[in-house]
Amino acid sequence: MSTFADQTFTPPEQIRNFCIIAHIDHGKSTLADRMLQLTGVVEERAMRAQYLDRMDIERERGITIKAQNVRLPWRLDGRDHVLHLIDTPGHVDFTYEVSRALEACEGAILLVDAAQGIEAQTLANLYLALEKDLHIIPVLNKIDLPAADPDKYAAELAHIIGCDPSEVLRVSAKTGAGVTELLDEVVRQVPPPVGDADAPARAMIFDSVYDTYRGVVTYIRVVDGRITPRERIRMMSTGATHELLEVGIISPEPKPSAGLGVGEVGYLITGVKDVRQSRVGDTVTSERKGATEPLAGYRDPKPMVFSGLYPVDGSDYPELREALEKLQLNDAALTFEPETSVALGFGFRCGFLGLLHLEITRDRLEREFGLDLIATAPNVEYRVVQDDGTDVHVTNPSDWPTGVKIAEVHEPLSKVTVIAPSEFIGAIMELCQSKRGNLLGMDYLSEERVELRYHIPLAEIIFDFFDSLKSRTRGYASLDYEEAGTQVADLVKVDILLQGEPVDAFSAIVHKDAAYTYGNKMAGRLRELIPRQQFEVPIQAAVGSRIIARETIRAMRKDVLSKCYGGDISRKRKLLEKQKEGKKRMKNIGRVEVPQEAFVAALSTDEPSGDKGKKK
Ligand SMILES: Nc1nc2c(ncn2[C@@H]2O[C@H](COP(=O)(O)OP(=O)(O)OP(=O)(O)O)[C@@H](O)[C@H]2O)c(=O)[nH]1
């Protein structure tokens, strides 16, 4: 078979650039696998499940984190075509990456599980695709399943995108049924790319990954002109220039080529060592006679959720720093800076795109770098306006201004979309209301499924919203959220005091009405977790100087010798030694000794959710 790698500058009318929009588990990776096989790009024996999900952690969790793209040859009606499949990440935290991947396409396959119907994130991504004028091909997957109800869900999809139910394709990514027809339809329906071949080069970066051997590999889609090896290129957002070491295509392994022309999708290697120098959404142009106008829509990745990460064993601090630096090579959105905590010692305040991003980062630190970590409760960024008119940005409760009058606090707001069976409307509304939500609208997608839209403060979403939603809807609800500006809110900082000393790790910023509940819960939890001391220890929750909750740990001398009656001196010594050992892992808050485990337990939120991280 002829390799497409030798053939550069494919005429745009032979190119089709498309992506697959799907909910987690609806079969995107399996469908991509089938496409690789049917187009002959991967031989049968080299096939492994989910070929495109390269990172081990992706494979284990079964979710796609980084977009990948692949070039597929497809012949229809006697003509050769080049299809570029751009694999979009499917999770809420990565909307920006999804939107950039969509930007690189002219069409999208809307893939929906024929036994489940469309989910909130898919709907959100579909709206993004429609906004960008992509041609949508609706497809139901898993028609081989006995539980599949293609007629019902074809009607639902047709209703949502405004087509006829007969236009909804039906496939099984598992058996391969219908996939050939789907590839034919991609060629027929998706418009070819349009661009000016003679204009200065402009290519959009829709992904960039760090490779240990090759440095940063940048995935681009050429819009105008051409990109050829050994020229110098410029990143238009920063003006930085780099020498191009290699240009190529992925099919499915990287293959160097003599360049990329209008509409083509491929990769660049420049020798930069850090993805922050090659950012998703940025425009690449030639250094000489380059373009003056970048492509629209570039945005710096902005962390939305912050958490302190501390090594359980303080001596691991340098390793934690090294590990974070390594992760950052591949993650332009991850930010971190050193911080210290009275209770937890030395650590880092890290910024994440969202809760899943936080969980994955933490998981990778623990797994790939063997670190044992404590994470403080996540919080968002607040803008605190003081009475003198000055602003403070607070990403850590300990930076909350004290001793000054606060005029206003602005908190980030999110627009939340929930899709669920209509029987749960009441339960969902109750939950959203309790999270200070504002109903924006409600639509029936079909007779029994409903879409609800709310404005809810981001801080309320990142805590345990997803878990509560799942448990109230028996797992049937799906959720999507996006940034929606900020709002003024009545927020206070609650401190937790042990014997009058504030324990910084437990401070939280909460709505005034929730302060009492938070204070009570935390004080109660600590009373359970902190062992009795030789003196009485009051645990208090306070807002400013006002105490809002109090618990007491009664005094007791922990007499380890009480078990030894008689005079076995060696046993006595052993027990005393053991007690000394235990003390090493204690942290002193004032005079109170608190075991490290108590911090860990008090800071752990009840139970990580199912869908979010798919923890087994
Ligand atoms: N019966 C049946 N199972 C399928 C089909 N397609 C996918 N699956 C199964 O559904 C599960 C999820 O498929 P994936 O391809 O991993 O889903 P995905 O959408 O790529 O998931 P993410 O990568 O997490 O976004 C796997 O267990 C697949 O084997 C199908 O057509 N029929």
Summarised one tens digit per residue, pLDDT across range 328-366 is 877 778 899 999 887 788 999 999 988 778 888 888 899
pLDDT at position 251 over 90: no
As to burial, measured by CB atoms within 10 angstroms (0-12 exposed, 13-18 middle, 19+ buried), residue 359 is: buried
Least confident of 150-154, 384-388, 609-613: 609-613
What ranges make up the beta strands (E) of 320-473?
335-341, 345-352, 373-375, 382-386, 391-394, 406-421, 438-444, 449-457
pLDDT of residue 207: 83
142 is in an annotated binding site: yes
Of the pLDDT bands very low, low, confident and very high (cuts 50, 70, 90), residue 610 is very low
The rounded Å distance from CA 419 to ligand 1 centre is: 21
pLDDT above 90 (res 535): no
Q: Please indicate whether residue 160 or residue 609 has the higher confidence score (pLDDT).
A: 160
pLDDT tens digit sequence for 423-462 = 999 999 999 999 999 999 999 988 888 999 999 999 998 8
Amino acid 607: pLDDT: 36
Q: How far apart are CA 80 and CA 390, in angstroms?
A: 63
Question: What is the distance in A from the centroid of ligand 1 to the CA of 255?
Answer: 28
CB 64 near ligand 1, within 6 Å: yes
**Tens-digit pLDDT profile for residues 76-90:** 999 999 999 987 654
CA distance 281 to 21: 19
Residue pair 147/122 in contact (Cβ under 8 Å)? The answer is no
Distance separating alpha carbons of residues 564 and 569, to the nearest angstrom = 9
Q: In this structure, what are the phi and psi dihedrals at residue 180, rounded to the nearest 5 degrees?
A: -60, -45
Q: Which residues contact 194 (CB under 8 A, 6 or more apart)?
A: 12, 262, 263
Is the distance from the beta carbon of residue 65 to the nearest atom of ligand 1 less than 6 Å?
no
Q: Is the ipTM of this complex over 0.95?
A: yes
Pocket test for ligand 1, best of 21, 23, 30 (most atoms within 8 A of CB): 30
Most confident of 16-25, 176-185, 501-510: 176-185
User: Distance between CA 605 and CA 518 in Å, rounded?
Assistant: 13
29 is in an annotated binding site: yes
Binding residue per annotation — 174? no
For residue 252, is the peptide bond before it cis, meaning its omega torsion is within 30 degrees of 0?
Answer: yes
Q: Whose CA is nearest to atom 7 of ligand 1?
A: 27
- Any residues with CB less than 8 A from the CB of 74 and at least 6 apart, and which? 39, 80, 81, 82, 83, 183, 184, 186, 187
How many C-beta atoms lie closer than 10 Å to residue 391's C-beta? 10
* SS3 assignment, position 548: strand
pLDDT of residue 172: 97
Ligand 1: distance of its center to the CA of 243 in Å? Answer: 40
Centre of ligand 1 from the C-alpha of residue 45, in Å: 20
How far, in Å, from the CA of 116 to the mean position of ligand 1? Answer: 12
Which two tokens mark 406? 């606060």
CA angle 612, 381, 237 (to 5 degrees): 90
Its pTM surpasses 0.95: no
Q: Is the CB of 29 under 6 A from ligand 1?
A: yes
Give the up-direction half-sphere exposure of residue 263: CA atoms within 13 A in the CB hemisphere.
25
Take residue 485 and report the two structure tokens written for it.
């500006």
Per the CB < 8 A criterion, the answer to whether 564 and 572 are in contact is yes
Residue of 595 and 351 predicted with greater confidence: 351
The residue written with tokens 């404590």 in the block is 374
The DSSP-derived string for 425-437 is HHHHHHHHHHTT-
Report the separation in Å between the CA atom of 24 and the middle of ligand 1, taken as the mean of its atom positions. Answer: 8
Which residues lie across from 286 on neighbouring strands? 233
**Beta carbons of 397 and 384 less than 8 angstroms apart:** no
CB 51 within 8 A of CB 42: yes
Among residues 375, 363, 377, 353, which one has the least CA distance to residue 464? Answer: 377
DSSP-derived secondary structure for 183-225: HHHHHHHSPPP---TTSPPEEEEEEEEEETTTEEEEEEEEEES
- Regarding beta strands 202-211 and 283-286, do their DSSP bridges make them parallel or antiparallel, or are they unpaired? antiparallel
The pair of three-digit structure tokens given for residue 493, joined into one six-digit string: 């900082």
Question: Which tokens go with 415?
Answer: 């627009």
Of the ranges 167-176, 249-258, 309-318, 587-596, which one carries the lowest mean pLDDT score? 587-596
141 is known to lie in a ligand binding site:
yes
- Tokens representing 440? 């924006």
> Is the confidence at residue 165, as pLDDT, over 50?
yes
Name the residue among 151, 22, 19, 21 with its Cα closest to residue 72.
19
- Categorize the per-residue pLDDT at 204 as very low, low, confident or very high, splitting at 50, 70 and 90: very high
Mean pLDDT of 400-413: 91
Name the token pair of 524. Answer: 């109660």
Residue 125 is which amino acid? N
Q: Using one digit for the tens of pLDDT, what is the confidence trace for 97-110?
A: 778 888 899 999 99
The tens digit of pLDDT for each residue in 550-585 reads 998 888 755 555 555 555 667 666 666 665 555 555
348 sits in the region (left: phi over 0; alpha: psi -120 to 50; else beta) called beta
Can you tell me the distance from the alpha carbon of 52 to that of 101, in angstroms, rounded to the nearest whole number? 15
Could you give the CA distance from residue 472 to residue 499 in angstroms, rounded to a whole number? 39
Please give the span between the terminal C-alpha atoms of the chain, in angstroms, as a whole number.
43
CA dist., res. 254 & res. 280, Å (int) = 19
Q: Where do we find the tokens 């009318």?
A: 13
Average pLDDT, the chain: 84
Task: Supply the pLDDT for residue 144.
Answer: 97
Gap between the Cα atoms of 311 and 320, Å rounded: 7
Yes or no: say if 264 and 15 are a contact pair by the CB < 8 Å rule: yes
Q: Is the pLDDT of residue 252 over 80?
A: no
Residue 337 burial class via C-beta count within 10 angstroms: exposed 0-12, middle 13-18, buried 19 and up: exposed
pLDDT at 3 over 50: no
Give how far Cα 245 sits from Cα of 205, 242, 291, 532, Å.
17, 9, 21, 65
173 Cβ below 6 A of ligand 1: yes
